[in-house]
Structure 1
Amino acid sequence: MLVRALSEIQGTEREVRAENGNWVSQRLLLKDDRMGFSFHITTIFAGQDNFFQYKNHLESVYCMAGEGEIEDLATGVVYPIKPGTVYALDQHDKHRLRAFKDMTMACVFNPPVSGREVHGPDGSYPADTD
C-alpha cells in the first residue's frame, strides 16, 4: 500500500516546475510506483497560455479549483474549465490551456511518467524507452 500526503511532496524532487514558470506539478504517483499510471496535482498559474500535445501519453484532468479554458487546436472549439470539469486527451490532442485564475488540477497520465520530464518544443513529454 502506498500512502502519501501532498505536503510531503512539496519542495522535493517530486515537485516539478515549468522552466517558463507557467505551472508547478506535485507528482504523487510515478512510474516507479508500478501502478500503470502517474497521478499529479498541477497548478496552472493565472494569465498563462500553454501549448501541449502529449504524443506519447494519454491524459485525463479534473479541475479542482480556478478557472480557464482548453482549446482543441484541431477543431478550434474552446471549452470552459472550472471546478468539477474533467477533460480527457484521448487522441493525443493538440491543445492550448489558458488559466484566468490559478487552476488546481488532478492529472492522470498513461503510461506513467518517471517524474522529471519537461515539455519538449512540440508540447509533449518524451516517450518511455524502458
Structure 2
Amino acid sequence: MIVKQLSEIVGTENDVKAENGNWASRRFLLKKDGMGFSFHDTTIFAGTETYIWYKYHLEAVYCVAGEGEIEDLETGITHPISDGTMYALNGNERHYLRARKDMRLICVFNPPLTGAEVHDEDGAYPLLSDSA
C-alpha cells in the first residue's frame, strides 16, 4: 500500500515547477511506484497560457478548484474548465490550457511519468526510462 501526504511532496524533487512559472506539479505516483500510471496534483496559475501536445502520453484531468479553459487545436473548440470538470486527452490532442483563476487539477498519465520529464519544444513529455 502507498500512502502519501501533499505536505511530504512540497519542496522535494517531486514538486516540479515550469521554467516559465505557468504551473507547479506535485507528483504523487510515478513509474517507479509500479501502478501503471502516474498521479499528479497540478496548479495552473491564473493569467497563464500553456501550449501542450502529449504525443506519447494519454492524460485524464479532473479540476477540483479554479477556472479556465482548454482549446483543442485539432477542432478549434474551446471548453470551459471549473470545479467538477473532467477532460481526457485520449487522442494526443494539441491544446492550449489557460487559467483565469488558479486551477487545481488532479492528473493521471499513461504511460506513467518517471518524474524527470519537462515539456520539450513541441509541448510534449518525452518517453523516459526510470534511469533518466
CA RMSD of aligned residues (A): 0.8
Structure 2 CA distance for aligned equivalents of residues 70 and 23 of structure 1? 15
Q: Could you say which residue in structure 1 is the equivalent of 2:81?
A: 81
Check whether the contact 2:58–2:89 (CA below 8 A) recurs between aligned residues.
yes
1:1-130 alignment to 2 at 5 Å?
Answer: 1-129=1-129
**Structure 1 stretches of 4+ moved >4 Å:** none
Work out the percentage of aligned pairs sharing the same amino acid: 63
Q: Deviations over 1:9-42 (max 9, x none)?
A: 0000100000000000000000000000000000
Letter of the structure 1 residue corresponding to residue 27 of structure 2: R
How many aligned residue pairs are there? 130
Shift, 1:129, TM fit: 4.6
Structure 2 CA distance for aligned equivalents of residues 78 and 33 of structure 1? 35
Structure-2 change in CA distance of 1:17 and 1:120 (3 Å): same
Structure 1 CA distance for aligned equivalents of residues 112 and 128 of structure 2? 9
Check whether the contact 2:117–2:128 (CA below 8 A) recurs between aligned residues.
no
List alignment gaps of at least 5 residues for structure 1. none
Shift, 1:116, TM fit: 1.9
Letter of the structure 1 residue corresponding to residue 4 of structure 2: R
Shift, 1:127, TM fit: 1.5
List alignment gaps of at least 5 residues for structure 2. none
Shift, 1:99, TM fit: 0.1
Compute the TM-score of the two structures, normalised by the length of structure 2: 0.96
Letter of the structure 1 residue corresponding to residue 55 of structure 2: K
Check whether the contact 2:23–2:42 (CA below 8 A) recurs between aligned residues.
yes
Structure 2 CA distance for aligned equivalents of residues 71 and 88 of structure 1? 13
Structure 1 CA distance for aligned equivalents of residues 107 and 101 of structure 2? 18
